[in-house]
Homo-oligomer: A and B are copies of this chain.
Amino acid sequence: MVGGGMTTAQRPTLEAVARRAGVSRATVSRVVNGSTTVAEDIQEAVRRAVAELGYVPNLAARTLVTQRTDSIALIMPEAATRVFSDDQVFPGIIQGVSQELEAADKQLVLMLAGSAAGHHRVERYALGRHVDGVLFASLHGADPLPGTLARAGIPAVCSGRPLDDSVPYVDVDHLGGVSRAVAYLLDAGRQRIATIAGPQDMVAGIERLAGYRDTLVAAGHPPLVAVGDFTRESGAVAMRQLLDQHPDLDAVFAASDLMAHGALRTLREAGRRVPEDVAIIGFDDIEMAAYTDPPLTTVRQPIRQIGREMTRLLLRLAAGQPIDRAVILPTELIVRDSA
């Protein structure tokens, strides 16, 4: 047995506080947990004893009896490279979740489940009820895990509609945002509008492509599609592909700012001026979008709010309160110089 720190200055227990305050353990517990059925002067005495001893409740002991852990897990099932590219989606979600949990005085347990082993680990952990609920950030395809947990009675919430519709989710209005972007290009008189779509096994990728296609077809234009995976590199590659196949294109809607950035580089290399020759609109409105050359016109999505709403949903779900099956947040077209 490897020993812990040497200075394990015996932490005071409920018992110690009770003795000092001259009351029973039960009463101290009542005061600590905010029960009102304790006489004012006794509450005062207990609080003083708590302060003097520097008492902090042992969470493990509490969890053992209450069956609540007061912590929730945030699962990031993506491949590591994507999770931590600089699209700021995941940091944004973490931040939103964190804010909301702090308000609820709960802890955030972060789990990256990129590998198959990691995936299994997450399942074990959640099924083992080591957390009160689970948040899934951006699923790939029809991941069965949320459904499995939901069936096991473990509260779970996704960002983005799960393909099997097994759990409540929070998402943004992809279609609305994209159609506004495409309409903006059409209004500006663009004739040959292409798209760099996101991965088609993710809801965000699917919906943004659908929004593009619908709007364009409704206006009587043919869709011109290349598919990327939301990364810069894939955007650069897709752009080259589009230029080869449709040299006459005069606008591009990229399903992420990162892909738009990659496309920008390809356009520059190909000698096309933006926005004169080719207009380009991205999606996300990450911080970098204002710093590209030219600054990027893009569809803003409220990322932090996604995290916050997911957390609220989960907490209500865990508390057995009624909830909406879905929360859809608005998107907004931010016009800069690239279109």
Contacts and interface: CB of A to CB of B under 8 A. Distances in A.
Interface stretch (A36-44, A128-136, A138-146, A181-189): A128-136
A24 interface: no
A90 interface: yes
Contact of A4 (B60, B67, B107, B128): B67
A11 B129 contact: yes
Residue from the set A7, A63, A107 with the largest chain B CB neighbour count within 10 Å: A107
Contact of A153 (B8, B59, B68): B8
B320 A4 contact: yes
A218 interface: no
Contacts of A219: none
Contacts of A94: 84, 110
Contact of A320 (B2, B60, B151, B232): B2
Contacts of A261: 288, 291
Interface in A204-255: 232
Given A95-B112, A110-B108, A124 B7 contact: no
A80 interface: yes
Contacts of A67: 4, 8
Contacts of A98: 110-112
Contacts of A2: 319-321
Interface string A115-139: 0001001001101111010000000
Interface in A137-175: 151-155
A330 interface: no
A319 B92 CA distance: 34
Contact of A108 (B84, B111, B132): B111
Contacts of A56: 124, 127-128
A121 B102 contact: yes
Interface string A70-82: 0100000000100
Nearest to A105: B121
Nearest to A87: B86
A128 B59 contact: yes
Contacts of A308: none
A170 to B, nearest CB: 19
Given A102-B121, A110-B110, A232 B90 contact: no
Interface of A: 2-9, 11, 54, 56-61, 63-64, 67-69, 71, 80, 83-88, 90-92, 94-95, 98-99, 102, 107-112, 118, 121, 124-125, 127-130, 132, 151-155, 232, 261-262, 265, 268, 286-288, 291, 293, 318-321
20 contacts: A5-B153, A5-B320, A8-B153, A9-B152, A11-B129, A56-B124, A56-B127, A58-B129, A59-B128, A59-B130, A60-B61, A84-B91, A84-B95, A91-B91, A94-B110, A98-B112, A102-B118, A102-B121, A107-B109, A232-B288
10 tightest A-B contacts by CB?
Answer: A7-B153, A5-B153, A56-B128, A60-B63, A86-B86, A84-B91, A2-B319, A60-B64, A110-B110, A60-B60
